[in-house]
Structure 1
Amino acid sequence: MITIDGSEGEGGGQMVRNSCALSLVTGEPFRISNIRAKRSKPGLMRQHVTAVEAACVISGSECSGLTVGASELEFRPGRVTPGEYRCAVGTAGSTGLVLQTVLMPLILAEGPSRLILEGGTHNMLAPPFDFIERTFLPVINRMGPSVSARIVRHGFYPRGGGRIEIDITPALLAPIDCIERGEQLGVSGQAVFTGLPFEIPERMLARARRDLSDWPDSAFAVRELPADQGPGVILMLEAQYANVTEVVSGFGQLGVPAERLAKTSAARMKGYIEASAFAGPYLADQLVLPFVLAGGGSLTTVKPSQHTLTAIDIAKRFTGRRIELTRQDSGEHLLTVG
């Protein structure tokens, strides 16, 4: 049994999610202690419990210690069974993070599957649906499977209530190389909001226009959703290239001025555009798992996050594969799996 100290590395819920996914694929049971020890509220949150429950449902796995607030659990994997599954986080917990836990095992299953996930679709500290749909899944589909996603209803923190649907046609994952992003095809900025004064998203876009002054005015837009899907607001900046699309997001928070949020998001987008790497930090983090399960591949990325380094460490423990991360003369980093 693989033993993991959840306080090591990044020390967040990603260690639980990736461990479950890798356990289901490799058949290796694991025990993890000190779960989320570095967080202000340590232990499992509702979205982490739902993610592990989803892993159990699709496979008949056994898990002990699975309760909200738990700091330790033991997971013994079963056999993944394709089918239609519905999982409700029950709060605004991220549907995207639940998807991360079960997607790779279902991609490698023996038949197609459909997931209906209910909860938060646009949350702080989690990839928004738009990132999953336009940045992450296109790379996965290049590796062989066919995965489509659609949003039925938005769910903002803290209310939640969103719904996404995922259709999966499985295939063995083929190694690919993601080195060059290709020519830039377009840029856009959108402030999506609901249940808040219109001037809040307008202020976000005004600051984004100022900081991204070389973007055309026509690239920016405001979208209002029905009031029962909020309240909430998110700024999403998108840069589309021939081989990859980067989505940078900033979530509205109580006490944080709209202009500050937009300034931070614009700075992150400018940093990505000025670099030459294929993957931003969040995409690189999420591609570690499929690349390792493909048994090979490479990508270039900006400076790797602690999330990425932790994902690499967990993947090595379950698979024993060689994963190297080297800094290039150009300043980008090259991640290779072999």
Structure 2
Amino acid sequence: MEEKQQISTYEGCNFLRQRLVLSSLTGRPVRIINIREKDVDPGLREHEASFIRLLDQISNGSRIEINDTGTVLMYRPGVLMGGRVEHSCPAQRGIGYFLEPLFMLAPFCKKSLDITLKGVTNNKVDPTFDMIKYSLLPVLKKFLVVDEGLSLTMVKRGLPPNGGGIIKFSCPVRRSLKAFQWLECGKIKRIRGTAFTSRIAPTVANRMLDAAKGEFLKFLTDVYITCDNGKGSSPGFGICMTAETNKGSHYTGESLECKEEEEKTPKLPEDVGREAAWHLLEEIYRGGCVDALSQCLVLLFMVLAPKDVSKVVFGPLTPYTMHFLQHIRDFFNVTFKIDEYVEKGVLDEEEQSRTGAGKLLLTCVGVGYTNIGKGQT
């Protein structure tokens, strides 16, 4: 009876990755019921089953039970082991779907994680390789302090529907993290990016690049975008850019054109370039010390930090981040204090509106999480 009380029960297929990642870190079993129970095709999808297999690959002693229809999942986490792993990701979702949770788990494995993921590197649904490289990787470097052994490289780019991309990710392990206060966002000092094509004329990359640069050269001169012309399995093109501040914050924006939806009229390269620039400008307007993609990773590291106060300034929270806060409360029993943040020297609302969207100050006390598999810091 006591064991049953410790099992967290959730309903539905939403936020499956959040629940399984937090379950893996806390060691608390989780049961998920009514997974697409009323759908024509009920139960877990191929990419969700693949993600569960990936968790099983990087851990030891996990017990996974799925009923015949796939509508009920029982997950009892084992010990995070890490090591050298290869995993093929289904083409329905991008490699980013699998890579994003690994950034949360990798530092707390017993051995350094060295993983090769194969599949779709860029699509319109999941964080792409470029976004993760520009957004999540700098955040992970900040918290690991020593980035020796930390790398994220793309061997081959793969677009839908055929995929064929290869990404390698390696991450050192840490015994514990340090409490931190990240309150200054800084001002934009430079913009970097990559315009890529796959089985498309290389001139398309230059057209995207020129359109995107045209939007930013109105504001600053340090804009540099590289071209990556490849021969993948599927045709497509896109551009991803990051704005870096003088305080080490990164904001990312991207746009992509590929054959995911057959009926849709294809976009011009100039439209893709401008769209990516507008997405980046929106992230800059939202502000905060990290962009929307990195919010959950920062919150998790704040919770896992020693029993001391950690603070961070965010722009508006995304719905995904709000649900992550609820799951953190469920698994770690940690609640964040959320206040409106006003920058120093900003006197009135009109001046504050010029500095972007409203900012939030999130404060919590860490749980003092220790990686039991790691002998030393």
Both structures adopt the same fold (TM-score exceeding 0.5): yes
Normalising by the smaller structure, the TM-score range is 0.7 to 0.9
- The answer to whether the Cα contact below 8 Å between 1:48 and 1:98 also exists between their aligned partners in 2 is no
1:222 & 1:87 partners in 2: Cα distance? 29
The letter of the residue matching 2:242 is E
2:160 is paired with a residue whose SS is coil
The one-letter amino acid paired with 1:193 is T
Alignment pair present for 1:297 and 2:310: yes
Partner Cα distance (1:226, 1:267) in 2: 25
Whole-angstrom CA distance in 2 between matches of 1:217 and 1:181: 20
- Distance of 1:274 and 1:165 partners within structure 2: 32
- In the alignment, structure 1 segments of 5+ residues that lack a partner are none
The letter for the 2-side match of 1:186 is R
Change (3 A) 1:39 1:122: farther
1:148 aligns with 2:154: no
Letter in 1 for 2:267: P
How far the C-alpha of 1:108 sits from its partner, in A, is 1.2
Alignment of structure 1 residues 136-215 onto 2, 5 Å: 136-144=136-144, 146=147, 147-171=150-174, 172-198=176-202, 200-214=204-218
Quote the Cα distance in structure 2 between the aligned partners of 1:133 and 1:314: 26
- Aligned to 2:292, which of 267, 276, 281? 281
Task: Name which of structure 1's ranges 24-33 and 87-96 shifts more when overlaid on structure 2.
Answer: 87-96
Query: What SS does structure 2 have at the residue aligned with 1:334?
Result: strand
Conserved 8 A contact 1:19-1:314: yes
Partner of 1:236: 240
How far off is 1:2 after superposition? 0.3
1:145-174 CA distances to partner (integer Å, 9 max, x unpaired)? 643211111121222111111122111222
Kindly indicate whether residue 278 of structure 2 is the aligned counterpart of residue 267 of structure 1. yes
Query: Over residues 66-115 of structure 1, what are the superposed CA-to-partner deviations in whole Å (9 max), with x where a residue is unaligned?
Result: 89x94431211112223111111142632222123344333112332211
In 2 relative to 1, CA 196–71 (structure 1 residues): closer, same or farther, beyond 3 Å? farther
* Cα distance in 2 for residues equivalent to 1:45 and 1:311: 22
Distance (whole Å) between structure 1 residues aligned to residue 119 and residue 300 of structure 2: 24
What pairs up with 1:1-338 in 2 under 5 angstroms?
1-6=7-12, 11=14, 15-35=15-35, 44-59=44-59, 60-65=61-66, 70-91=70-91, 93-144=93-144, 146=147, 147-171=150-174, 172-198=176-202, 200-214=204-218, 219=223, 221=225, 223-242=227-246, 243-254=248-259, 255-258=265-268, 259-294=270-305, 297-329=310-342, 330=352, 331-338=358-365
> Given the superposition, is the C-alpha separation of residues 271 and 118 from structure 1 closer, same or farther in structure 2, using an over 3 Å criterion?
same
Matched letter for residue 163 of structure 2: G
Give deviations 1:248-267, integer Å, cap 9, x for gaps.
11121452523544444322
Of 312-321 and 82-91, the range deviating more from structure 2: 82-91
Shift in CA distance, 283/104, structure 1 to aligned 2, threshold 3 Å: closer
User: 2-side partners of 1:217 and 1:144: how far apart?
Assistant: 32
**Distance in 1 of aligned mates of 2:170 and 2:39:** 33
- The Cα RMSD (Å) is 3.0
State how far apart, in whole Å, the 2-side matches of 1:24 and 1:205 are: 42
Unaligned runs of 5+ in 2: 1-6, 260-264, 343-351, 353-357, 366-377
Tell me, yes or no, if the aligned pair for 1:178 and 1:299 is still in contact at 8 Å. yes
Q: CA deviation at 1:28?
A: 0.3
Contact 1:133/1:148 (<8 A) preserved: no
User: Secondary structure, in 3 states, of the residue corresponding to 2:144?
Assistant: coil
CA shift in 2, pair 1:180/1:286, >3 Å: same
Count the aligned residue pairs: 331
Q: What is the alpha-carbon distance in structure 1 between the residues aligned to residue 113 and residue 163 of structure 2? A: 24
What TM-score do you get using the length of structure 1 for normalisation?
0.85
Matched position secondary structure for 2:288 = coil
**Deviations for 1:290-328, whole angstroms, at most 9, x for unmatched residues?**
332235633222211111111111121111112233333
| Greater Cα offset, 202-211 or 170-179 | 202-211
Residue 25 (structure 1) shift: 1.3
Percent of residue pairs bearing the same amino acid type? 22
On the 8 A contact 1:124/1:251 being kept in 2, the answer is yes
Distance 2:158 2:167 in 1: 10
Which of 266-275 and 185-194 deviates more?
266-275
Label 1:159 to 1:327 Cα distance change in 2 as closer, same or farther (>3 A): farther
- Supply the distance in 2 between the matched residues of 1:37 and 1:234 (Cα, whole angstroms): 37
Alpha-carbon distance between aligned partners in 1 of 2:24 and 2:169, rounded to the nearest angstrom: 19
Provide Cα deviations, 1:196-215, integer angstroms capped at 9, x if missing partner: 24564455344424433425
- Select the structure of larger CA radius of gyration: 2
